[in-house]
Amino acid sequence: MPAPVAETRTGLVRRARRIDRVLAETYPDARSELDFDDPFQLLVVTVLSAQTTDKRVNAVRPTLFAAYPDAPSMAAGDRATLEAIIGPLGFFRAKTESLLKLSAALVEDHGGQVPARLDDLVKLPGVGRKTANVVLGNAFDIPGITVDTHFGRLARRFGWTEETDPVKVEHAVGALFAPKDWTMLSHHVIWHGRRICHSKKPACGACPIARWCPSYGEGPTEPDVAAKLVKTEGRA
């Protein structure tokens, strides 16, 4: 039996872009599942979303920003009051500390405004490349790839890269797509990871991109079994 033919670089690019096109058709409403009204709100809720659900963050958002609508007010905010508001999210003391330092840095270094440059964002307390790319892509329409746990897992399952370091994944996958597609690509892949391509038991038999996925079969392939694994919402 002949050995399988290795995929060419051109073949990989075409397959990757086909997968994204199908995911775009599957999730036409794909977007950030965190609610926000401006760059400051998006930055804050993204920081708060660590180790909790988007639904919980969205639930405290109105109270949080009614009390602290901007960086200056949050930087001068009362610690106990802030802790009480974000208490339901868990790790509230550490998160309160992060928000106070982050807001203070915005006031001291950027006039209270969220900067629209990656280099500036990642220098802010508690902000890494993932959070920075979320803000750039969704608040400023500046292309960026958001490599969260879902994106990294699916990028490897799709055979787009073997890298495990998020920064290396970002660069490897970014090279397969036009920059203008990076932000929506992130949404498509993350939505798919939350709804169908689960970590422990992907719903392979209900997957719209199964024919282009080299990892097909890691989860149940029977349509009726797989259908029961599909989630209709993301991070509820």
3-state SS class at 223: helix
3-state SS class at 52: coil
Report the catalytic residues: 130, 148
Rounded CA separation 45/54 (Å):
9
- Looking at this protein, which amino acid is placed at residue 27? Y
- In angstroms, the Cα distances linking 42 to 52, 54, 72, 127 are 16, 12, 16, 12
